[in-house]
Amino acid sequence: MGGWKKGTLFCPTDEAPASGESFDTIGTLNGIRIERIHSSSTPDTSLQRQPHDEWVALLFGQATLELFSGGVGTEVTLVAGETLFIGAETPHRVLTISHGALWLALHAPSPR
């Protein structure tokens, strides 16, 4: 689709999911997937390992993630307005999150 497309990250009628997270692809740009993530206070805490780079911005709420490097986990807490880059194949998981947390995520294909 050419031209333009207007959207919003914030929608007053949105309700956070009862559990887990909801994922909405907002669009793509040169292979980068732009995603809006709305979280409940009971996220999936399983270990994730994605084949692509990911950059996230926490727009609303607070979250604690665990990221692994060399088998060692490090907890990282984010508050609204903070960002985090997660390189391809970096094991990570969400440990805790506030209900209604809202994220903007960019998923970029790895150049490898």
The pTM for the full model equals 0.87
- Note the pLDDT of residue 51: 94
**pLDDT value at 79 more than 60:** yes
Helix/strand number for the chain, H first, E second:
0, 8
Q: Work out the percent of the chain whose per-residue pLDDT is above 90.
A: 69
Query: Which domains can be identified in the chain, with CATH numbers?
Result: 21-108 (2.60.120.10)
What would the DSSP string read from start to end of 21-62? Answer: EEEEEEEEETTEEEEEEEE-SS---S-B--SSEEEEEEEESE
